[in-house]
Amino acid sequence: MATLNEEIERRRTFAIISHPDAGKTTLTEKLLLFGGAIHIAGAVKSNKIKKTATSDWMEIEKQRGISVATSVMGFNYGDYKINILDTPGHQDFAEDTYRTLTAVDSVIIVVDVAKGVEQQTRKLMEVCRMRNTPVIIFVNKLDREGRDPFEILDELESELKIKVRPLSWPINIGAKFKGVYNIYEHSLDLFTPDKQKVSERVEIDDINDSRIDQAVGESDAAKLREDLELIEGVYPDFDVNDYLAAKTAPVFFGSALNTFGVKELLDCFVKIAPSPRPVMTVEREVRPEEEAFSGIVFKIHANMDPNHRSCIAFVKICSGRFERNAAYKHIRSGKLMKFSSATAFMAQKKNIVDEAFPGDIVGIPDTGNFKIGDTLTEGENIHFKGLPSFSPEMFKYIENTDPMKSKQLEKGIQQLMDEGVAQLFVNQFNGRKIIGTVGQLQFEVIQYRLLHEYGAQCRWEPISLYKACWIESDDADALEAFKKRKHQFMAVDREGRDVFLADSNYVLQMAQNDFPKIRFHFTSEF
């Protein structure tokens, strides 16, 4: 039986992030294909094939062709156990992605060769930089017309503020695309457009090998040698430690849809990517190789199976060994809990697990015990940190349109808020419920899911607000005075904390000037 340290060493837990439509879900599928986890790649958006992408399984995702919830998929590849977290690329679900980034050890960023770095990618990179998460970049869609690879590298450096080092290099792009030279392993991969099969590979020891000329033609071979010489001249040699310290990002080129350049990425990734790393708690640093189990709830998902109104809490194991039916302490409530049916994921397919190790993600059935950020341990009182809620930017009153179904609406709102899809505030002045989100699309998703999963109908009413911010003060009288003066704009969140609803930037600034003893927070983590 493998020791705890061996199990930790072979784990690779990472997230794939990108702008919508850069090909993230397609890349996830192809990685699963190499892991033998799925056997045919479904064309995600084609209606001819009724099989949709393995990682997009919520009804609304299939209808709109975008990933809304983060999916977790685990598979074995050689001696490695790989856990992929596929994240929503759509910016209205950025918060879910930010939280997912707290549960991974490294990240693969997908960039579209024609569009380059887009706004959403920049934001996500900031979160990686904040946490020093190592990043590998995959430049996708080389079989379509796009920009010059050197231009893309410059843009990656300036926009993502990180040094890059290409580890593979394309031979032409678009209609003339002939393949990729793998700098990391010194081999040439020839491109044949086929969504189901992997293209042929030529092992080459020397870049001056004449077989390159035969394979791609003399002029392209000459250009490749020129490009590689330039790369060696401009970019320092690849150093794994710089990558692990999040100072350098290796870059790979390929076409995920045509399963091209993906294996090179995966083979290099498993060799260089970090195994699970230590995690900070409020009290101390927790190391994965510690004997005692600890884990954090980083996501809650309602209704993975619409036939059973079940919630699942996703727990990332941070240290020790998780065992089925062992008693663990839920720190926030102080209760001991046993889990007989914890599951591991392959997108929607779930298998009951008997044990799991640091880096693994297990799903625990949740009957309302868990909140995002909860800690589970073998008894030690520690609190993991780093799962913020951001101050929402869009607000609407939520109203029940079917008085007979108010119980269902109440339950639906509670569960969807537990998932962290949006935030609920209750206005202290008129008692009305306000939902705050970071994007317009979330209102549609909430309305859709309330109806289809809980049988509850709601309508939205406009409210003009600029920002919600959490307030606190060491001076109780100052806090009371503020709440009296602003009583029409005061609300409480689900934790019962005071929230000030500012209806304009001007009002917010005035409040900050007039009440110097009050602290205004724009994330809930303080």
Report the pLDDT value the prediction gives residue 364, as an integer from 0 to 100: 86
Say which residue, 71 or 432, is predicted with more confidence: 432
When pLDDT is cut at 50, 70 and 90, the band that residue 138 belongs to is: very high
Report the pLDDT value the prediction gives residue 39, as an integer from 0 to 100: 44
Report the pLDDT value the prediction gives residue 231, as an integer from 0 to 100: 86
- Other C-beta atoms closer than 10 Å to the C-beta of 405 total 18
Residue 13 clears pLDDT 60, i.e. is over it: yes
* Residue 151 parent element (H or E): helix 149-160
Residue 301 clears pLDDT 80, i.e. is over it: no
Mean pLDDT of 123-139: 86
Report the pLDDT value the prediction gives residue 36, as an integer from 0 to 100: 66
Q: Which of 96, 51, 95, 57 is nearest to 73 (CA)?
A: 57
Q: What are the φ/ψ torsions at residue 438 (nearest 5 degrees)?
A: -95, -5
Give SS3 for 10.
coil
Mean pLDDT of 60-86: 68
Radius of gyration over every alpha carbon of the chain, rounded to an integer in angstroms: 25
Say which residue, 268 or 310, is predicted with more confidence: 268
Q: Give per-residue pLDDT as tens, 222-281.
A: 888 888 888 888 888 888 999 998 899 999 998 888 878 888 888 889 999 999 988 888
Mean pLDDT of 3-24: 85
Say which residue, 97 or 455, is predicted with more confidence: 455
Mean pLDDT of 408-414: 89
- Other C-beta atoms closer than 10 Å to the C-beta of 162 total 18
Report the pLDDT value the prediction gives residue 94, as an integer from 0 to 100: 57
Report the pLDDT value the prediction gives residue 370, as an integer from 0 to 100: 84
Report the pLDDT value the prediction gives residue 61, as an integer from 0 to 100: 53
Which pTM value belongs to this model? 0.74
Report the pLDDT value the prediction gives residue 17, as an integer from 0 to 100: 83
Matching CATH topology for 4-177+237-272 and 394-521?
no
Alpha helices in 351-404, H assignment, sequence order: none
Domain 279-377 annotated CATH 3.40.50.300: yes
Residue 69 clears pLDDT 50, i.e. is over it: no
Report the pLDDT value the prediction gives residue 178, as an integer from 0 to 100: 78
In three-state form (DSSP H/G/I as H, E/B as E, the rest C), the secondary structure along 54-80 is CCCCCHHHHHHCCCCCCEEEEEEECCE
Mean pLDDT of 41-56: 41
Say which residue, 301 or 436, is predicted with more confidence: 436
Q: What is the identity of the amino acid at 97? A: T
Fold of 394-521: Alpha-Beta Plaits (3.30.70)
Average pLDDT, the chain: 80
Report the pLDDT value the prediction gives residue 496, as an integer from 0 to 100: 87
Say which residue, 212 or 55, is predicted with more confidence: 212
Alpha helices in 65-111, H assignment, sequence order: 94-101
* Residue 218 parent element (H or E): helix 218-234
Report the pLDDT value the prediction gives residue 45, as an integer from 0 to 100: 35
When pLDDT is cut at 50, 70 and 90, the band that residue 347 belongs to is: very low
Which listed CATH number (3.40.50.300, 3.40.50.150, 3.30.365.10, 3.30.1050.10) goes with 4-177+237-272?
A: 3.40.50.300
Report the pLDDT value the prediction gives residue 57, as an integer from 0 to 100: 45
Report the pLDDT value the prediction gives residue 255, as an integer from 0 to 100: 87
When pLDDT is cut at 50, 70 and 90, the band that residue 371 belongs to is: confident
CA distance 508 to 97: 28
Residue 137 clears pLDDT 90, i.e. is over it: yes
When pLDDT is cut at 50, 70 and 90, the band that residue 304 belongs to is: low
When pLDDT is cut at 50, 70 and 90, the band that residue 58 belongs to is: low
Handedness of CA 436, 441, 443, 446 (dihedral sign): negative
When pLDDT is cut at 50, 70 and 90, the band that residue 480 belongs to is: very high
DSSP label of 2:
-
When pLDDT is cut at 50, 70 and 90, the band that residue 22 belongs to is: confident
Residue 315 clears pLDDT 70, i.e. is over it: yes
When pLDDT is cut at 50, 70 and 90, the band that residue 55 belongs to is: low
In the chain, where the domains are located: 4-177+237-272, 279-377, 394-521
Say which residue, 163 or 175, is predicted with more confidence: 163
